A and B are shown apart, each in its own frame.
Chain A
Amino acid sequence: MMVELLRRFLAGYRVCSLVAVLTKMIEVVFELLTPFVVAAMIDAAQAGAGFAQMGGFAAVLIGFALASYASTLVCQYLAAGVSQGVGTKLRDAIYEASLRLSPEQVDRFGASSLLTRTTADVNQVQLAIALTLRQVTRWPVLVVGSIIAAVSIDRQMGVVFAICLPVVVVALVFVMRVSVPLLMKMQAGLDRLSLLMRESLSGVRTIRAFRKDAFERARFDEATHTQARMSVLQGRISALLNPASFVAMGVGLIAIVVLGGRRVYEGSLTTGEVVAFVSYMTQALSSIAFLASLVMVLMRAHTSSVRILEVLQVPAQVQGAGLAVLPTQNAAPPNAATIPTQNSVLLPTHNPAPLPTQNSATPATQNAALPTLVLDKLSFSFAGAQKPAIDKVSLTLEAGHTLGVIGGTGSGKSALTGLIAGLYQPSSGILSICGVPTEELSEQKRSAWVSFVPQESSLVSGTIRSNLCWRDVHATDEELWQALRDAQAADFVRALELQLDAPVEAHGKNFSGGQRQRLCIARALVGDARLVVLDDATSALDYATDAALRQALYHGARSSKRQNVSYVIISQRISSLMEADEILVLDHGRCCGLGTHDELLKSCLIYREICELQLGAREVCHG
């Protein structure tokens, strides 16, 4: 997985990586030459060489040290560049992929998981790349180099190396083999602890009400002790690594002394060379434990790579036109590709449009006669779902009219908003907005025509102005205030010291739930949308404010330029949508009622039931 990731993202850094590895090797070569020099030095000293000669040797050693330092600097510099560069590219790619996911995919990953993947997981990969360039190359070269150097001095002595090093590697592999599954079990155990604690925290009232504190404590303690037992076991196994490599090194050193004694006695080896062997042995094996931690880093990076690739490799699922490709090259036929897209917004009246037909590349206009929203036998299924989320729904929403949508969870309301928003493409049937079928609607046009107020308020950090100007960067203050007034938000914004430039914290946390919702509504009203979709957008408003808002939207603003704006109001509250021109009752994706409040009371059983629940039976009868 890591390889796959590197293949894709290391592309521009091949040369740098190669140079980094090479410079690292140069460093190691100098380190390997050092014992040679020392051996010569010792032999010379024993032969009674003078101080000057010794100084010469020492100067060579220091020269080696400096040379290896210089090449390391190059390596470290390149490693930093490569790893951070790859990391940056990865972050960009993941974030871009996240923004292009469908809402279901985002939910499946979970927002926090996507965040982790963009940050922590990339950091892991980054670290692994850096360490690979800096350290992973170092160790094999050091080991192989030590063996070569040892063999080149004395073949028999080289055998000692050839035996000891594999032993250490085997020990390393064994410890890894055993402890990695254990580590994964421990992670699972930690997840379980986490789950139990989260349950205890979220259910604290219920637990106390049922007097189950002791029970929950016992449950958690038990899991805790299972976890402790596992970490003790894991600790014991991973604690084997250091002693094992130490024993290998110690035995190797002893073998060198025994064997070296014999070879020197025979006269085929000098004492200085024996000392060099000792140096090699110490050098090669003392870094073994470090290798273990490197392996852990690599394994963690592997897991992270898997998680990153999961995001990057998500198939571009039912995405709207203009999303699958670059926004400017939308899916409209070539002749309509760019110019009409621009013009349709800027110079709409120059292109009077016929009713949507096959040749719907013709841009829609502000012609009020065109229905804002047409659904014709519209069906939509989520990938892999057995039942359609929207099942052959047909309706027409005229300009300036209001459509109410009501239905329970799973009725298809959010699929409908998703379709209007272009998050999904219809499976069959037609959905057209201002006369343009959704397949042919460019992203810009759609976003210029359709405006949304989402269920959860969604302010971002910045100022009130920067939030309000989402749909129109050039909106004037007067336009903003008008939108705020209509959204019943002008009063509290005016009370702020900085008014439109008052800061907004992430998620609008410095505003109350109701204020956030009203700001989101105001945002949707900026920028001359022709269709405003309010998706359960008034749940945090009290009934009076809700009523005033609707009054402003339908009636107050009708006189102004918003007179032709259509509204789709999705709500759980009958009272929020009972005055709509038409109400769509959704049940499991099917339209089981379409008409005015009074008509539906007579004709639609489900609608009647909802009304009875919310308004009380007697009132419904009277109504």
Chain B
Amino acid sequence: MANLYSAAAGGAGTLAVIRGDDSGPSRNDGDKSSVDAASYSSGYVVRRIARAALKHGGLVALAFISSVVSGILQLYVPILIGRGIDCIVGAGQVDFAGIDRVVRLALFVVIIAAASSWVASAAASRLAATLAADLRSALSKQLHEIPLSYHDAHNRGDLLSRCINDVEAVADGLLQTITQFFGGIVSIVATIAFMLSLSPVVTLVVVVLTPLSIGVAALIARFSASSFDSQQALQGTLSSSVEEGISNHRLIRAFAKQDEFLEDFSLINQELQLVGERAQFISSLTNPSTRLVNNIIYALVALVGCVCLGTGWPSVLSVGQVSSFLSYAHQYMKPFNEISAVVTQLQTAISSAARIFAVLDEPLPAKPSEPLRAKPSEPLVGKASEPLRAKPSGSNQKTPNKTSTSTDASNTAAKQEAPNKMSLSTDSDSVVANAPARVPSAQLKLPRPVSGALEFSDVHFSYIDGVEILKGISFTASPGQRIALVGPTGCGKTTLVSLLMRFYDVDSGVIKLDGIDINKLDKDDLRAAFGMVLQDSWIFEGTIHDNIAYGKPNASHDELVAAAKRAHAHGFIEQLPLGYDTVIASDGVGLSAGQRQLICIARVMLADPPVLLLDEATSSIDARTERLVQEAFDEMMHNRTSLVVAHRLSTIKDADCILLMDGGRIIERGSYSELLAYGGRFAALHAAQFPSTL
């Protein structure tokens, strides 16, 4: 039991398999970027899941063997009961000793069958739970290491759903595969074998009629599939109608449009009712119809069995054997139904697994010390040129050729356009098959204390190849200086901050901190030099204390309170019911936006970083908290190099240098008074924003 969890927790090997490191048929790292879940073939997905499961080989073997044992033994019971019945010939003619022998054996078989059936499902569910844990760990690891661009480009809800719902679906699918799918196949094979051992002729009756039942089920499935499709489509329309209505709720009320919205909804709803009835009726025919076929088979088995019993032709059967046959005829269809019921679920599981793999296969950056000759690959956007739908066999001849050409093409393209995009990495395990061996850190440590001299020289950057966000940014900040970044949305202010933190790496140009190219620095070491306060304050579920201590968990309470005081957060925290021990929800319910920001400021205060990167909130808050926030910011920026994405006039005025950015360039720079006197864009912008000054 212990090794189950250790395997789930530790096994790098497991993670490697889930990631697909053991180069599956479609692995071809380096030439695909945003991995598309749809490009995985189901065969590949199934094999990869199987490989991941096989890392827990013991469990797999246990599950499969015990499921075979229980399947066979369960089906052996009707034979034994039949034999028992054969000991009962008629009044006065009963072989009690025979019954005794059969009953002992049957009891033994029943118990072993039941036990192994329990072992089979327990092992399967343990395997499923372990796989789920493995997948979630791998996903979590991947999402913490993946370049920030991935997070920016992907919907958060979707990623969350992959980690939670899709993993659940895969685990469920695995469980069903073993218990229902595999178990069903075992029962079918065992039933046929046992029936054959009794009488090939009667077996023939059953086996010949089986396709009839399957055919009926398939026919119904085909009919219901189309009505399910239209039901699904209508459900979607209905959902978006509800969603629109509810999200515009206030306005609908204000404009008195409820009735119209309700009417539109009702129309869709009625249509859905009709389609739904049809879909449900057709699909609910499956069970009765197969049962009908099954009952007819049952009647025929009874007929043939009784004829055999009475006449000994075409084969000799005893009463007990007829009884066994009837039991089999009863149960024979059950596994077929189970298998068909599981098939849709398995399809869901496979597509869920593909979605998970798409996240895991997203290439991680290469190693930092060699940005320019690192993998000449991974353009941020662009098609995965090698379709993952590689056929494992059959098309073997074609695939490699195609792969290699497209790889070359994409490599060339990547070299030209984005030589070193995302080419830097965190400390992760080596996760991609053909990634270069880990370079033992040639990374420099930042000499302490950090004085905070910043230098940007001709920095270019683009999120998407060919669309430059920063087009040659150069400026310097001496230690202790306050730099205000001003400009319209999308001009690159926030990007500039992200580059400093090395959330992204520059396309060209150099950024230096204390005279050292930040690309040569250890990422963690670099980030430790910065304190960052973002517009949206990130609060996690926990106490206020934990939230503030996030960057310095071992801080003493006094230190923490001192930081909160300097952040002007102490006052309102004291007023909370449990003070610093008050638990706050992750959406910060109960705290105003300003208070949440004060907590984030206190968090940075406590960490006491030499350089500050601030993103002022645009939306203003109530005047008093706003003032507190501003004072907290001022306090924090005192004697520290700071780079502020500024919206407040006071910040702008007090800045040592204002950089007015537009279209990825610095178009004006200077102090507040210099820029106003210059009478350029800054002066115009200022006039629009702060009209009273004119």
Most buried by B among A202, A246, A257: A257
Q: Of B239, B540, B688, which is within 8 A of A115 by CB?
A: B239
Most buried by B among A91, A539, A573: A91
Interface residues of A in 67-87 (CB under 8 A from B): 68-69, 72-73, 76-77, 79-81, 83-85, 87
Check A547 for interface membership: any CB of B closer than 8 A.
yes
Which residue of chain B is the closest to A320 with respect to CB atoms?
A: B253
- With A217-B144, A232-B126, A575-B690 as contacts: A251 and B530 at CB distance below 8 Å: no
Q: Of B254, B288, B693, which is within 8 A of A423 by CB?
A: B254
B121–A61 CB distance below 8 A: no
Check B128 for interface membership: any CB of A closer than 8 A.
yes
- With A80-B280, A409-B622 as contacts: A58 and B300 at CB distance below 8 Å: yes
B-chain residues with CB within 8 Å of residue A450 when the two chains form the complex: 254
A615–B690 CB distance below 8 A: yes
Q: Of A85, A205, A272, which is within 8 A of B273 by CB?
A: A85
Distance of A246 Cα from B327 Cα, bound (Å): 14
A46–B85 CB distance below 8 A: no
**Distance from A448 Cβ to chain B, minimum over Cβ atoms (Å):** 9
Distance of A38 Cα from B309 Cα, bound (Å): 13
A236–B693 CB distance below 8 A: no
Check B238 for interface membership: any CB of A closer than 8 A.
yes
A130–B284 CB distance below 8 A: yes
**Distance from A93 Cβ to chain B, minimum over Cβ atoms (Å):** 10
B136–A84 CB distance below 8 A: no
Check B306 for interface membership: any CB of A closer than 8 A.
yes
A-chain residues with CB within 8 Å of residue B87 when the two chains form the complex: 257, 261
Q: Of B109, B143, B251, which is within 8 A of A200 by CB?
A: B143
- With A193-B164, A458-B251, A616-B649 as contacts: A246 and B144 at CB distance below 8 Å: no
Check B503 for interface membership: any CB of A closer than 8 A.
yes
Check A454 for interface membership: any CB of B closer than 8 A.
yes
Which residue of chain A is the closest to B552 with respect to CB atoms?
A: A210
B285–A73 CB distance below 8 A: yes
- With A208-B501, A246-B74, A282-B331 as contacts: A274 and B5 at CB distance below 8 Å: no
Check A339 for interface membership: any CB of B closer than 8 A.
no
A-B contact pairs, 20 of them (CB 8 A): A34-B295, A42-B309, A69-B295, A99-B253, A100-B258, A193-B136, A206-B600, A220-B137, A224-B140, A235-B175, A240-B118, A275-B326, A409-B621, A421-B253, A458-B247, A460-B244, A543-B685, A610-B620, A614-B620, A622-B692
Check A623 for interface membership: any CB of B closer than 8 A.
yes
Flag the segment in A262-270, A345-353, A368-376 that touches B. Answer: A262-270
Which residue of chain A is the closest to B241 with respect to CB atoms?
A: A95
**Distance from A39 Cβ to chain B, minimum over Cβ atoms (Å):** 10
A-chain residues with CB within 8 Å of residue B620 when the two chains form the complex: 408, 572-573, 610, 613-614
A68–B295 CB distance below 8 A: yes
A-chain residues with CB within 8 Å of residue B331 when the two chains form the complex: 282, 286
Distance of A259 Cα from B79 Cα, bound (Å): 18
**Distance from B354 Cβ to chain A, minimum over Cβ atoms (Å):** 19
B255–A264 CB distance below 8 A: no
A42–B319 CB distance below 8 A: yes
Flag the segment in B155-163, B383-391, B415-423, B462-470 that touches A. Answer: B155-163
A98–B253 CB distance below 8 A: no
| 1/0 contact string of A299-324 vs chain B (CB within 8 Å) | 00000000000000000000010010
Question: How many B residues have CB within 8 A of the partner chain?
Answer: 165
A-chain residues with CB within 8 Å of residue B114 when the two chains form the complex: 243-244, 246-247, 250
B250–A616 CB distance below 8 A: no
**Distance from B599 Cβ to chain A, minimum over Cβ atoms (Å):** 12
- With A92-B265, A454-B251, A619-B693 as contacts: A228 and B295 at CB distance below 8 Å: no
| 1/0 contact string of B98-134 vs chain A (CB within 8 Å) | 0100110011011101110110011011101110110
Flag the segment in B88-96, B188-196, B565-573 that touches A. Answer: B88-96
A-chain residues with CB within 8 Å of residue B450 when the two chains form the complex: none
Interface residues of A in 363-411 (CB under 8 A from B): 407-411
B310–A45 CB distance below 8 A: yes
Check A188 for interface membership: any CB of B closer than 8 A.
no
Q: Of B242, B326, B540, B630, which is within 8 A of A119 by CB?
A: B242
Check A207 for interface membership: any CB of B closer than 8 A.
yes
| 1/0 contact string of B270-282 vs chain A (CB within 8 Å) | 1011001110110
- With A101-B249, A261-B94 as contacts: A197 and B110 at CB distance below 8 Å: no
In the A-B complex, the 8 residue pairs with the smallest Cβ-Cβ separation, listed nearest first, are A408-B622, A235-B125, A250-B110, A267-B91, A61-B299, A65-B295, A243-B114, A239-B121
A87–B322 CB distance below 8 A: no
Check B246 for interface membership: any CB of A closer than 8 A.
yes
Q: Of B125, B256, B288, B649, which is within 8 A of A72 by CB?
A: B288
A231–B132 CB distance below 8 A: yes
A65–B296 CB distance below 8 A: yes
A-chain residues with CB within 8 Å of residue B248 when the two chains form the complex: 454, 458, 460
Check A279 for interface membership: any CB of B closer than 8 A.
yes
Q: Of A118, A279, A609, which is within 8 A of B326 by CB?
A: A279
Flag the segment in A49-57, A431-439, A476-484 that touches B. Answer: A49-57
Check B252 for interface membership: any CB of A closer than 8 A.
yes
B129–A228 CB distance below 8 A: yes
Which residue of chain B is the closest to A448 with respect to CB atoms?
A: B256
Question: How many A residues have CB within 8 A of the partner chain?
Answer: 170
Check B561 for interface membership: any CB of A closer than 8 A.
no
A-chain residues with CB within 8 Å of residue B265 when the two chains form the complex: 91-92, 95
Q: Of B88, B113, B243, B619, which is within 8 A of A506 by CB?
A: B243
A264–B110 CB distance below 8 A: no
A235–B121 CB distance below 8 A: yes
- With A34-B298, A111-B243 as contacts: A221 and B9 at CB distance below 8 Å: yes
- With A98-B245, A409-B592 as contacts: A201 and B143 at CB distance below 8 Å: yes
Check B582 for interface membership: any CB of A closer than 8 A.
no
- With A66-B292, A200-B143, A202-B156 as contacts: A225 and B253 at CB distance below 8 Å: no
Q: A-B contact count, CB below 8 Å?
A: 502
B128–A205 CB distance below 8 A: no
B-chain residues with CB within 8 Å of residue A205 when the two chains form the complex: 148, 498, 501, 503, 532, 534, 538
Q: Is the interface of A mostly helix, strand, loop or mixed?
A: helix
Interface residues of B in 303-334 (CB under 8 A from A): 303, 306-307, 309-311, 319, 322-323, 326-327, 330-331, 334
A461–B240 CB distance below 8 A: yes
A615–B121 CB distance below 8 A: no
Q: Of B4, B99, B524, B527, which is within 8 A of A257 by CB?
A: B99
Check B528 for interface membership: any CB of A closer than 8 A.
yes
B623–A609 CB distance below 8 A: yes
A-chain residues with CB within 8 Å of residue B627 when the two chains form the complex: 609, 613
B303–A224 CB distance below 8 A: no
A58–B302 CB distance below 8 A: yes
Check A599 for interface membership: any CB of B closer than 8 A.
no
A616–B242 CB distance below 8 A: no
A99–B261 CB distance below 8 A: yes
| 1/0 contact string of B615-650 vs chain A (CB within 8 Å) | 000111111111100100000000000000000111
Distance of A92 Cα from B296 Cα, bound (Å): 44
B307–A45 CB distance below 8 A: yes
A197–B277 CB distance below 8 A: no
B-chain residues with CB within 8 Å of residue A103 when the two chains form the complex: 249-250, 253
A-chain residues with CB within 8 Å of residue B524 when the two chains form the complex: 211
Distance of A543 Cα from B140 Cα, bound (Å): 42
Distance of A58 Cα from B310 Cα, bound (Å): 14
A-chain residues with CB within 8 Å of residue B118 when the two chains form the complex: 239-240, 242-243
A251–B144 CB distance below 8 A: no
B-chain residues with CB within 8 Å of residue A18 when the two chains form the complex: none
Distance of A586 Cα from B258 Cα, bound (Å): 31
Check A470 for interface membership: any CB of B closer than 8 A.
yes
- With A38-B302, A58-B302, A610-B623 as contacts: A232 and B250 at CB distance below 8 Å: no
Most buried by A among B270, B272, B691: B691
A216–B144 CB distance below 8 A: yes
Check A88 for interface membership: any CB of B closer than 8 A.
yes
| 1/0 contact string of A4-37 vs chain B (CB within 8 Å) | 0000000000000000000000010001001000
Which residue of chain B is the closest to A201 with respect to CB atoms?
A: B156
